């Protein structure tokens, strides 16, 4: 297939592209600078511009670009960038694809389980209602921004990513230093649910969605066995052979991270991957200990 990818330098993009190239797909990248190669296509979500003519003839588009939600405190300006980078960029790309003479048959777009908000012990599937906090509102708008592409007959898949486990990036990479020093511990009560997925299964799930024409709409990218923060902490300590006896109280997390603490560290989302499992996707890493041992093997 001829596939266009945005966010090619992010955690998922850098892992996805070589795997697709290995399988013989022709990969092009959306970039925010003047193209340095024939396989680069320029766009600017800030200026709401894109090289429309060069989007003709792709089989699929995978849209992964967006401002990091875990870097820096959530000032009003930071929250504006988080929202606009996702909603404005997705609308620009989705609307452009919908107006092509030769549009792609598939548009895979990143989203997040932040869609559900803080839901305690409630079991959440793709049919569950959205939450009511900032991240939930962003995710709702993010997914709605693909509407025109869907209305034009393009198969849209909204990938609601859980906590992606990789030693070199994402949440786990930030957690590793204190845990390796033996000063890690549960966050807050430790009862909040963490719905995680190994990076290898993110890549496997995207490839599965590209190939499976029956998959469309929201898809939870989470492993089959979510755990509480207390269990996650204990398991990570076990894999690293380190104690986990230094809990961080909720007020301390809020003092350090502000509003982001409640959204990312203290909220509870017990999410099931109903669509992927029903469609027949087999997770390579279905248990947390197995996933952690794999990603930390080096």
pLDDT reading at 174 higher than 70: yes
- CA-to-CA separations, 41 to 4, 34, 56, in angstroms, rounded: 9, 8, 12
pLDDT digits (tens, 9 = 90+) for 158-173: 999 999 999 998 899 9
**Domain residue spans of the chain:** 2-295
Residue 65 predicted with pLDDT over 80: yes
The whole-angstrom separation of Cα 41 and Cα 57 is 13
* pLDDT score of 176: 94
DSSP secondary structure letter of residue 130:
P
- The pLDDT, as a whole number, for residue 190 is 97
Residue 187: predicted pLDDT: 95
For the chain, what is the mean pLDDT? 95
pLDDT at 264: 86
User: 145 in helix, strand or coil?
Assistant: coil
Q: What is the pLDDT of residue 40?
A: 97
For the segment 273-279, the average pLDDT, to the nearest whole number, is: 97
pLDDT at 267 over 70: yes
Give the least confident one: 13-22, 139-148, 250-259: 250-259
298 pLDDT higher than 70:
no
pLDDT on residue 180: 95
Percentage of residues in the chain having pLDDT higher than 90: 89
Handedness of CA 54, 148, 140, 156 (dihedral sign): negative
Phi and psi at 285, nearest 5°, equal: -130, 95
Q: In the predicted model, what is the mean pLDDT of residues 123-130?
A: 98
The set of residues, in sequence order, having a beta carbon less than 8 Å from that of 108 and lying 6+ positions away, is 60, 61, 62, 63, 156, 157, 159, 206, 209, 210
pLDDT band, residue 60 (cuts 50/70/90): very high
pLDDT at residue number 99 = 95
The model's pTM: 0.95
108 to 49, 65, 209, 210: CA distances (angstroms): 20, 12, 8, 8
Q: Which CATH superfamily is domain 2-295 in?
A: NAD(P)-binding Rossmann-like Domain (3.40.50.720)
Q: What percent of the chain has pLDDT over 70?
A: 100
pLDDT tens sequence across 196-223: 999 999 999 999 999 999 999 999 999 9
Give CA–CA dist 3/54, Å, rounded.
12
Q: Is the pLDDT of residue 256 over 90?
A: no
Would the pLDDT of 71 be above 90? no
């Amino acid at each position: 297939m001829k596939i266009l990818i945005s966010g090619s330098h992010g955690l998922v993009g850098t892992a996805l592209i070589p795997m697709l190239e290995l399988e013989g797909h022709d990969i092009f990248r959306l970039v925010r600078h003047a193209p340095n190669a024939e396989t680069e296509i320029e766009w600017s979500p800030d200026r709401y511009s894109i090289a429309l003519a060069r989007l003709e003839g792709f089989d699929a588009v995978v849209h992964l670009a967006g401002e990091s939600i875990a870097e820096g405190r959530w000032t009003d300006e930071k929250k504006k960038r988080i929202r606009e980078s996702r909603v404005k960029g997705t609308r620009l790309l989705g609307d452009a694809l919908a107006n092509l003479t030769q549009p792609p048959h598939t548009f895979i777009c990143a989203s997040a389980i932040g869609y559900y908000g803080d839901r305690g012990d409630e079991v959440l599937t793709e049919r569950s209602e959205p939450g009511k906090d900032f991240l939930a509102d962003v995710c709702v708008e993010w997914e709605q921004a693909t509407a025109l592409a869907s209305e034009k007959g393009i198969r849209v898949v909204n990938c609601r990513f859980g906590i992606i486990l990789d030693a070199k990036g994402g949440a786990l990479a930030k957690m590793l230093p204190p845990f390796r020093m033996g000063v890690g511990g549960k966050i807050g009560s430790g009862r909040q649910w963490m719905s995680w997925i190994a990076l290898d299964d993110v890549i496997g799930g995207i490839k599965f969605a590209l190939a499976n024409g029956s998959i469309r709409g929201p898809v939870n990218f989470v492993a089959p066995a979510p755990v509480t923060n207390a269990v996650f902490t204990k398991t990570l300590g076990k894999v690293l052979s380190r104690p986990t006896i230094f809990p961080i109280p909720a007020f301390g997390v809020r003092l350090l991270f502000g509003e982001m603490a409640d959204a990312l560290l203290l909220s509870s989302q017990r999410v099931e991957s109903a669509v992927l499992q029903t469609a027949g996707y087999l997770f390579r890493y279905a248990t947390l200990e197995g996933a952690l041992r794999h990603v930390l093997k080096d």
